[in-house]
Every structure is written in structure tokens, then in C-alpha cells.
Amino acid sequence: MTHERLIIIGAGPAGWTAAIYAARAGLSPLILTGPEPGGQLMTTTDVENYPGFVEAVTGPDLMAAMRGQAERVGTRVVEEAVEAVDFAASPLRVGPHTADAVIIATGAKARWLGLPSEEAFKGRGVSACATCDGFFFRGQDVAVVGGGNAAVEEALYLSGLCRSVTLIHRRDALRAEKIAQDRLFARKNIAVKWNAQVAEVVGDASGVTGVRLTTGEILGVTGLFVAIGHDPATAPFAGHVPLDSEGYIVVEPGTPCTAVPGVFAAGDVADKTYRQAITAAGMGCMAALEAERFLAH
């Protein structure tokens, strides 16, 4: 067992940014990387919207740079996954470690349809993030799967970039809020396929060329955006820090502060609205500044 001033759980943009700020504040943070050092961006190629790069940077290169920067300023890195915590204890317990303050930055994962053809075309036409990848499909025909607020928001966002958007929904009514539905139905280039599911993603060496629906119809699209929800990685924290009904860590609005003194949360684990590398990094910075203030008092 080691005692630390600050433990950061998770090594995506939120965790590495928190580590950079905490290390430069003299806190000598320990970061526990979990199963995916680098986080979600390790699974993508071009990132065109992270500021500071004239040419697109690849996800793995961006994360390697963040890690290198964090280590250079004094972050200690352990490739360990946290399975249990006790935040009622003093000091706080994180697996075999104790800490005066903890930043949770364990991210979230998109839910997928679970089709082999979806897996085969991930990153080649199949995406779970319109803000991230919509730009690559401008002027093209795309489809979105889902019926909640997220799916409607993705369809609206894409309709500003793409020639046409087809929303595929397995029921005959959307779950999204009425105001979002009104905006959706008012868009001329959005159509809805009701009572339909994706049976297969069709494509060739160039990427996705279409989507076969359970109704038998084939939609000619080059992009398929799956918007059926995300799962935040919060299992070890349930019962130790307040979670909302979808499992996200609850923070005081506009801050990374949880209801537990000394425990902060940053990035996708506490943000179901923006889910971007830059917003995760911004929250990581805020969490480190709050942790530094907490430890100083």
C-alpha cells in the first residue's frame, strides 16, 4: 500500500491533463491508467478538432504526446485498473492505495449494435460521434440509429453538413423531447425509417456503401452513426460517490466537484453532453486546480 497526495484514475485526455496541472503544482500525482492507457482516442485515426495541430493528428499520437508531457513534469504512471474504492475512509482508499484527494477520469463507452459488419466498418464509415466524424461525410448521405435525444441531436448536427440524413428507429415514436422532435421534423433533408433496425452494414474496400434494414430495404449511405447511448465506466464507484440515473458521476454544475470532499470527476465520466477530447481536457484542468485548492486547505 502506498499513500499519495493525489491519485488520478484514468488516462484519457481528462486524466493526462489533470496530471499535467497537478504535477506542475507540485502534487507529484499518481495516475492509474486502467485497461486502456490513452483512452478512447487510441481507437481512432485522424483527430481534426483538437486545437494546436494544423494537420490532423492521429488519436494515438495525441495521447502519446499528452502522456509524454505529463511524465516530463513529474507524473508517476502505473498500469493498474481500480476495482474497489472506499471514499468514506480517511484517507480515501483506491484499491491498495490511500490518497488525500482523488480525480476520477474513467470515461465512457459508446453502445454499439453488436453486428459483425458494424465492427468491420468501425472507423471506415461507422461512427458513434457526429461531432467527431460528421465533417468527413459532408455532402454525403448518412444514417443515424436511435430514437432518444442523442440520436435526434446527432441527426440535426449531421443535417447541417450532409446531403441527407435518415434516422432509423426500431419503434413508431421517438423518445426524444418534443422540442427536439419538432426541429427534426422541420428539417427538409432528414427522413425517418420507423419500425426498422439495421440488419447489416454493407460496404467494400472504400468503406460503407449502404445499410440493409430488417425491413429488407437497403439505404445507400456512406456513413452510419450509432446513437443508442453510452455507458460511463463507474462500476467501482457506485455507492461511494453520487451517480445519476444513467450511471454518470454527479458534479456540482460547472465544476468537477462531487458531493464527497476531496473527490473530483472529469471528462466523459461526468459529461453526457459534450463528450469531446477538448472538453475532457478542460475538465481535467479544472479538477486538478480544485484538488490543489482542496489539498492546500
Ligand X SMILES: Cc1cc2nc3c(=O)[nH]c(=O)nc-3n(C[C@H](O)[C@H](O)[C@H](O)COP(=O)(O)OP(=O)(O)OC[C@H]3O[C@@H](n4cnc5c(N)ncnc54)[C@H](O)[C@@H]3O)c2cc1C
293 by DSSP, 3-state: which?
helix
* Cα diameter, the chain: 64
Binding segment for ligand X among 20-28, 32-40, 245-253, 255-263 (CB under 6 A)? 32-40
73 forms part of the interface with ligand X (CB under 6 A)? no
Between residues 184 and 226, which has the closer beta carbon with respect to ligand X?
226
Contacts for 93 with CB less than 8 Å, ≥ 6 apart: 84, 85, 86, 87, 99
Residue 285 annotated to the active site: no
Of 6, 7, 8, 15, the residue at the interface with ligand X (CB under 6 A) is 15
Q: Evaluate whether 67 touches 38 at the Cβ level (below 8 Å).
A: yes
Residue 109 CB, shortest distance to ligand X, in Å, is 7
Q: Contact letters (x/-) for ligand X, 226-255, by CB under 6 A?
A: -------x--x-------------------
CA torsion sign for 50, 53, 59, 62 is negative
118 by DSSP, 3-state: which?
helix
207 by DSSP, 3-state: which?
strand
DSSP 249: B
Q: Residue with C-alpha cell 475512509?
A: 89
Question: In this structure, what C-alpha cell is assigned to residue 230?
Answer: 453510452
Restricting to residues 263-282, which ones interact with ligand X according to CB under 6 A?
A: 267-269, 275-278, 280
Radius of gyration over alpha carbons of the chain, in Å?
21
Restricting to residues 128-147, which ones interact with ligand X according to CB under 6 A?
A: 129, 132
159 forms part of the interface with ligand X (CB under 6 A)? no
Question: In this structure, what C-alpha cell is assigned to residue 183?
Answer: 426541429
Q: Tell me the backbone φ, ψ of residue 174, rounded to 5 degrees.
A: -85, 150
Q: Residue with C-alpha cell 492546500?
A: 296
Binding segment for ligand X among 102-110, 144-152, 202-210, 285-293 (CB under 6 A)? 102-110
Residue 43 CB, shortest distance to ligand X, in Å, is 5
Cα separation, 87 vs 100, whole angstroms: 10
Of 23, 30, 37, 125, the residue at the interface with ligand X (CB under 6 A) is 37
Catalytic option among 100, 129, 141, 285:
129
Residue 178 CB, shortest distance to ligand X, in Å, is 28
Residue 257 annotated to the active site: no
Residue 255 CB, shortest distance to ligand X, in Å, is 16
Residue 162 annotated to the active site: no
Catalytic residue positions? 129, 132-133
Residues forming contacts to ligand X in the complex (CB under 6 A) are: 9-15, 32-37, 39-41, 43-44, 47, 49-50, 81-82, 105-107, 129, 132, 233, 236, 267-269, 275-278, 280
